[in-house]
Amino acid sequence: MKDFPIRIDLMSRFRTPAQQKKTIEDLRKGQVDIVIGTHRVLSKDMKYKDLGLLIIDEEQRFGVTHKEKIKKMKENVDVLTLTATPIPRTLHMSLVGIRDMSVLEEAPNDRLPIQTYVMEYNEEMVREAIVRELSRGGQVYYVYNRVNNIADVAAQIGELVPEATVAFAHGQMSERELERIMYDFINGEIDVLVATTIIETGLDISNVNTIIIHDSDRMGLSQLYQLRGRVGRSSRTAYAFLMYKRDKMLKEVAEKRLAAIREFTDLGSGFKIAMKDLEIRGAGNLLGERQHGHMEAVGYDLYCKMLNEAVKNLKGVQEVLDFSTTVELDVDAFIPPTYIVNEQQKLDIYKRIAGVETQAESDEMMEELLDRFGAVPKSVDNLLRIALMRVKAHQLYIMEVKGRPGEIRFVYRPDAKVHGENIPRLLDLYGSQLKFLPQGNPVFTYRYQNSSLVEKKAEELLNYAQQLLEDMQRLLRGD
């Protein structure tokens, strides 16, 4: 660790050219530890002596070109990307394993879901929404994304609600004027702020709890989600009105976007919104610059499968033949309705447990369940154990594991890649309890004396199945 204070510099258009030049020179010499900036940090004149960590906030605002520049800065730079709504290309890269992903699912205390309405433009509805917000001492955003006549729209809002103080803001204003308007709005001197999408990120004003978005069908899904997130930042119920022109026939894609933003109103829905965006727009081209679009040449599912296999090969993970393995043991292995009440959460946990592949992942899942839902029931613990057994069985080319108290059967593929010469060693290890039938699909059958106690039968069955799989892996695979 350094024994002197960390130096932090800023890079933005709000700093003078001389200040920016000084920062660039100090960066080259390694005299700046942390630099915070806009896209300016990606310029050609920016040279870093020893860049080790890059943190990208609001990733959806960076294009592929910017990300390619980042790659060229230096090899082996750790990159942490932060976003509520990742672009389809980035999300897909995370889902197939090219990038690691961590999701924050818990909302801050006392936050409430934003009430979202999608409708045709209606002046009376606009007036009612503004008056209702003002009556409880709140403020309103009105998003109008055209600079040329934004002043006229602000005047119309002023006529609709004479008792409200209305102002407008956009990115083409002078810095001082924009700063003054935002300062007045934050201090509550402005009731309704008519603004372009410059308010999309970075604003946290708890007193603003109604947003009206004009021509919402023209905006992207992540953009709508980000705009809606400007309200509801306190313990009050917030409202979002997504409006489009009266009698306008919406395009299919626009209709899907508005339906998705209306459907996903729960706190922390950004990941679901991004998944829907991936579904609507496609994953894009991971080898090129397109951030969206479907892989029409081979089909999306086949493309994902081929990509996943390529990623595993590059990671050195040995690819197992494509076949399914079922594990059917006569034990309770499920999530009780009293443990996870929400059906959506329960389905999500089932899916994640099915994807567990290592003991470390199983332990992490167990810790998360304990932290989120309390003490883990025996039936859920059994489910996690069976998930790991399925992975081991698949690695052994076993198609089926079936068991009931007193007997367990392991059905192998005929082309299983195992050390057949070690089968006698396995049979000697278990004596007369283990039988082997080589004809057709090879089958190992293990019979044992089960306990007379009902509560011990399930535990015995799981333990024996687990031990047999470990011994098979050790002797027949040599792992």
| Tens digits of residue pLDDT in 399-453 | 999 999 999 999 999 888 888 888 999 999 999 999 999 888 899 999 998 877 7
Kind and range of the H or E run holding 251: none
The pLDDT value given to residue 385? 94
The pLDDT value given to residue 46? 78
Candidates 417, 409, 474; CA nearest to 446 is 409
CA 269 to the chain's CA centroid: 9
The pLDDT value given to residue 416? 85
CB 477 within 8 A of CB 418: yes
Buried b (16+ CB within 10 A) or exposed e, 10-36: ebeeebeeeebeebbeebeeeebeebe
Q: Which of 77-86, 128-137, 428-437 is predicted with the least confidence, judged by mean pLDDT? A: 77-86
The pLDDT value given to residue 191? 96
Count each helix (H run) and each strand (E run) in the chain, helices first: 15, 15
CATH superfamily membership of 8-95: P-loop containing nucleotide triphosphate hydrolases (3.40.50.300)
Is 326-477 the same fold as 115-265? no
pTM above 0.75, yes or no: no
CATH superfamily membership of 115-265: P-loop containing nucleotide triphosphate hydrolases (3.40.50.300)
Give residue for tokens 């706190």: 267
The pLDDT value given to residue 80? 82
Provide, rounded to the nearest whole percent, the portion of the chain with pLDDT above 70. 78
Give residue for tokens 């278990």: 430
Over residues 10-31, the mean pLDDT reads 77
Domain assignments of the chain as residue spans, ordered by start: 8-95, 115-265, 326-477
Q: Which of 103-112, 214-223, 466-475 is predicted with the least confidence, judged by mean pLDDT? A: 103-112
Q: Is the pLDDT of residue 97 over 60?
A: no
**CA dihedral angle for residue 66, residue 71, residue 76, residue 77, rounded to 10 degrees:** -20
- Tokens matching residue 35: 């630099």
The predicted-structure confidence for 339-374, as pLDDT tens digits, reads as follows: 998 887 888 888 889 888 899 999 999 999 998 899
Q: Say yes or no: domain 326-477 is CATH 1.10.645.10.
A: no
